[in-house]
Amino acid sequence: MLDVLEGFIQELRTAGLPVSLTENLDAMEAVQHIPMEDREAFKYALAATLVKSHAHWKAFETVFEVYFSLRRPGPGDEADLESDADAGNLQLDESGAAGAGAMDSLSPEELAEMLYKALLNADEATLKALARQAVTRFAGMEPGRPVGGTYYLYRTLRNLDLDGVLERLMEASREQAEQAGGELTSLEERLERDEYQERIAQLRQEIEAEIRRRLVADRGPEAMARTLRKPLPEDVDFMHASRDEMAQLRRTIQPLARKLAVRLARKRRHGRKGPLDFRNTMRHSLSYGGVPAEPKFRYPRPAKPEILVVADISGSVAAFARFTLMFVYAIASQFSRVRAFVFIDGIDEVTRFFEGTEDVNQAVHRVNTEADVIWVDGHSDYGHAFQVFWEKWGREVSPKSSVILLGDARNNYHSSQAWIVKELRQRARHVYWLNPEPRSYWDTGDSIVSEYGAHCDGVYECRNLRQLERFVEQLG
Amino acid sequence: MTLTNAEPRFESVPAVREGLAGVNYLADEGIAGVVYLADRLQKPVLIEGPAGTGKTQLAKSIAELTESRLIRLQCYEGLDESKALYEWNYKKQLLRIQVERNEDEKATWNDIEEDIFAEDFLLTRPLLEAIRATDPVVLLIDEVDRVEVETEALLLEILSDYQVSIPELGTVQATQVPLVFLTSNNTRELSEALKRRCLYLHLDYPDLAREKEIVLARVPGITENLADQIARVVRSIRQLELKKAPSVSETLDWARTLLLLGATEISEAQATETLHILLKYQSDIEKAAKELSAAAS
């Protein structure tokens, strides 16, 4: 048992979760109080001691699944499966659909029919059995074949046509409503759909688990954990984030923006002491009988920081740009004075799109479609974009403003106009450059980041949340 | 760090669950498991999650269940030692010095000093109070993410060793280990040091079945059918992308409202009219109303 736990924690660490020695010991102690047979409780016991951030929960769950739930394809488990399947078939007997244990011999149509019925009645046991059957039948798994679980999942789902099933289910509820003498109101329809979608999602999970279970049996937990290892949310590369990962990232941006706001504001408050505030001192002297015993100073009023974000949204950094726009949106909700500019070879101010809208997606969409950023051919031209920026808005950059430039500095061999960045730096409080490319790619090909970087207060590699966070941290 | 006198409060995980159900708090497997572990391992529990999912209520219910006194420390920006741990009652100390001077001319400095830094002059604040209590207590440190990172350090000693060091008096050891709950709305990352000392529990919005149970348990007189519908509508709304998703407490408010309005089932019009109880942003309300009435396509 301790060995398994040791391996488990090792895997968590490799996956990037920070598990300290104390937490390790706590977990060891915790499992003594919880019987291992109780899977759910056991899982939560481990999670409570080892995982201290909700963002890591998914990673933990995957590793746990591989190490504990799916382990031991021993005789005990088989029996379990059998009885599950029996239960499923028994219920089917009642509905007269198929004979017990005969799932293997069903035709695809019959199987689809069974799936439909099971989803309609939320029949969990049958759904489980069906998931197993579907994997056996459609996934075409071969031992030792070096493909990931997603491939098998895709193959299985393609054959099940779940979208079609959903439509059929909806059709059925509509008919039912008609028979009852009425129509589904849109609210009811929506609720029904949500319900079925939830059930189908459950089925999907079941299938996924089944595939993993078989893969683990085939390859062993260590190898499996390795293939399943995904970067933690804070390590996901902006440029290659999937849609789910993007959604997750978005949730984490808000706290980060708040932190940035605090950093920039705090810096100002902790400034020097101001000159003596005579009025205030006199007022306080009254409590000492007119003796000005407690001098009061006029602290410099924390000036409102102004942030100018200038972001490249050309194709080469499109994924990153989407993220930066979200980040700008989050910052805008924290600061009163944020101005956003986007460019490809032309440049346009997009602050107006962020104002008065609550929906970040909508704002991003409007930026991408309405902003006037194309000057000649729609290929990045930093030099021209900066030049226009300087002519149009350069005068508005003041010692209060911090300028954040975002982009990969791939200039398509146009002239760099780096003097503008230099001018900007003289005028603004700070100029930072965030580059979404790995450092090793900098200054290769048409990238001229160091030419600009020479004039910035700092150039930072910013490919994932961790790096962005580090940038925010060091501002303070 | 382990105190020997501790007797486990709970028999087993299911016992915790049933007990909580007895005081109208419907716990799931995770909640019950973590509470049970907290008792066995004598560790504080850090509860994180969106607002209104019953974080504070969990501590209250545990207090009710174990018949303990609930001591609550509400955190806020600027919370300091004198508000959280203890403070010397300096007015009383001053008086004491005055009296002493009048009574006894020969009192030396040491006498006085020893005298005025005694327990009589100590004002206990929630944390110290929880440590010194002889009756069973549950300590709730609410919204711990509101204090600054530096202030978190104040909590560390009490969380890991259940003791408070007072320079003038020495160390005050806990007579019994209280159950400690910390809640956080996750507005910022808590420090590693704090997290390490706690068990971690993430409370999310409940699933459909549990939410329905909660409505049934908390709103007397509601029919099963209505509760089911409420839970389903709320689930649909939570799937939308909103500024603030409806919390459990808002679900309960909504259920009560519908009950007062005499609804037996939710019609579309009624749902749209009462949305403002579930959602607190105008833009959210508009969006949800639009989504609910537009036929799902």
Domain regions of chain B by residue span = 13-77+131-202, 87-116, 208-290
Which has more confidence, A476 or A340? Answer: A340
State the pLDDT at residue B237: 87
State the pLDDT at residue A59: 83
State the pLDDT at residue A181: 66
Any CB–CB contact under 8 A between B199 and chain A? yes
Find the CATH number of the domain harbouring A366: 3.40.50.410
Q: Are residues A352 and A436 in the same domain?
A: yes
Read off the pLDDT of each residue in B48-60 and give the average, rounded to a whole number.
88
Q: Classify residue A349 by burial, with Cβ atoms within 10 Å: 0-12, 13-18, 19+.
A: middle
Read off the pLDDT of each residue in A387-404 and give the average, rounded to a whole number.
87
Any CB–CB contact under 8 A between B192 and chain A? yes
Q: What is the pLDDT of residues B186-201, one digit of tens each?
A: 777 788 888 888 999 9
Cα dihedral sign for B284, B290, B292, B297? negative
Total domains present in chain A: 4
Minimal CA separation from B268 to chain A, in Å: 6
Q: Are residues A337 and A428 in the same domain?
A: yes
Residue A327 lies in a domain: yes
Q: Are residues A443 and A343 in the same domain?
A: yes
State the pLDDT at residue A441: 85
Residues in chain B: 297
How confident is residue B140, by pLDDT bands cut at 50, 70 and 90?
very high
**B258-283 exposure pattern, b = at least 16 Cβ within 10 A, e = fewer:** bbeeebeebeeeebbebbebbbeeee
Which has more confidence, A352 or A75? Answer: A352
State the pLDDT at residue B181: 93
Minimal CA separation from A347 to chain B, in Å: 30
Residues in chain A: 476
**Percentage above 70 pLDDT, chain B:** 95
Residues 6+ apart with CB under 8 A from A16: A59, A231, A232, A235
Q: Which residues pair with B202 in a beta bridge?
A: B48
Q: Are residues A317 and A464 in the same domain?
A: yes
State how far the Cα of A19 lies from the Cα of A10, in Å rounded to an integer.
9
Read off the pLDDT of each residue in A202-229 and give the average, rounded to a whole number.
75
| Predicted confidence (pLDDT) at residue A370 exceeds the cutoff of 70 | yes
State the pLDDT at residue A77: 41
On whether the CB atoms of residues B71 and B158 are closer than 8 A, the answer is no
State the pLDDT at residue A98: 38
State how far the Cα of A118 lies from the Cα of A115, in Å rounded to an integer.
5
Residue A110 lies in a domain: yes
**Percentage above 90 pLDDT, chain B:** 11
Q: Classify residue B230 by burial, with Cβ atoms within 10 Å: 0-12, 13-18, 19+.
A: buried
Range of A384's domain? 244-270+304-475
State the pLDDT at residue A99: 38
Any CB–CB contact under 8 A between B189 and chain A? yes
Read off the pLDDT of each residue in A374-401 and give the average, rounded to a whole number.
84
- Cβ-defined contact of B48 to A54 (cutoff 8 Å): yes
Q: What is the pLDDT of residues A101-112, one digit of tens each?
A: 456 666 777 777
| Predicted confidence (pLDDT) at residue A78 exceeds the cutoff of 70 | no
- Cβ-defined contact of A187 to B293 (cutoff 8 Å): yes
On whether the CB atoms of residues A273 and A299 are closer than 8 A, the answer is yes
| Predicted confidence (pLDDT) at residue B268 exceeds the cutoff of 50 | yes
Residue A375 lies in a domain: yes
State the pLDDT at residue B294: 62
Under CATH, what is the fold of the domain B13-77+131-202? Rossmann fold (3.40.50)
State the pLDDT at residue B122: 87
Q: Are residues A264 and A410 in the same domain?
A: yes
Of A3, A8, A1, the closest CA to residue A47 belongs to A8
Cα dihedral sign for A335, B51, A472, A348? negative
Query: A51 to chain B: which residues are within 8 Å by CB?
Result: 200
Query: A20 to chain B: which residues are within 8 Å by CB?
Result: 192, 196
Please report the ipTM that was assigned to this predicted complex: 0.79
Read off the pLDDT of each residue in A144-149 and give the average, rounded to a whole number.
65
Which has more confidence, A245 or B119? Answer: B119
Which has more confidence, B22 or A73? Answer: B22
**Percentage above 70 pLDDT, chain A:** 81
Of A23, A33, A190, the CB nearest to B40: A33
For A186, which residue in chain B has the nearest alpha carbon? B295
Q: Are residues A349 and A395 in the same domain?
A: yes
State the pLDDT at residue A71: 54
Residue A97 lies in a domain: no
Alpha helices in A34-67 (DSSP H): 39-50, 57-64
A426: left (phi over 0), alpha (psi -120 to 50) or beta: alpha
Q: Are residues A141 and A263 in the same domain?
A: no
A61-70, A101-110, A184-193, A349-358: range with lowest mean pLDDT? A101-110
- Cβ-defined contact of B202 to A54 (cutoff 8 Å): yes
Mean model confidence pLDDT for chain A: 76
Read off the pLDDT of each residue in A112-118 and give the average, rounded to a whole number.
78
Q: Are residues A296 and A364 in the same domain?
A: no
- Cβ-defined contact of A40 to B29 (cutoff 8 Å): yes
On whether the CB atoms of residues A297 and A277 are closer than 8 A, the answer is yes
Residue A233 lies in a domain: no
Minimal CA separation from B43 to chain A, in Å: 10
Any CB–CB contact under 8 A between B233 and chain A? yes
Any CB–CB contact under 8 A between B36 and chain A? yes
Any CB–CB contact under 8 A between B235 and chain A? yes
Query: B295 to chain A: which residues are within 8 Å by CB?
Result: 186, 189-190
User: Taking a contact as any Cβ pair under 8 Å apart, which residues of chain B between 261 and 290 contact chain A?
Assistant: 266-268, 271, 281, 283-284, 287
Of A18, A44, A198, the CB nearest to B34: A44
State the pLDDT at residue A82: 40
State the pLDDT at residue B138: 92
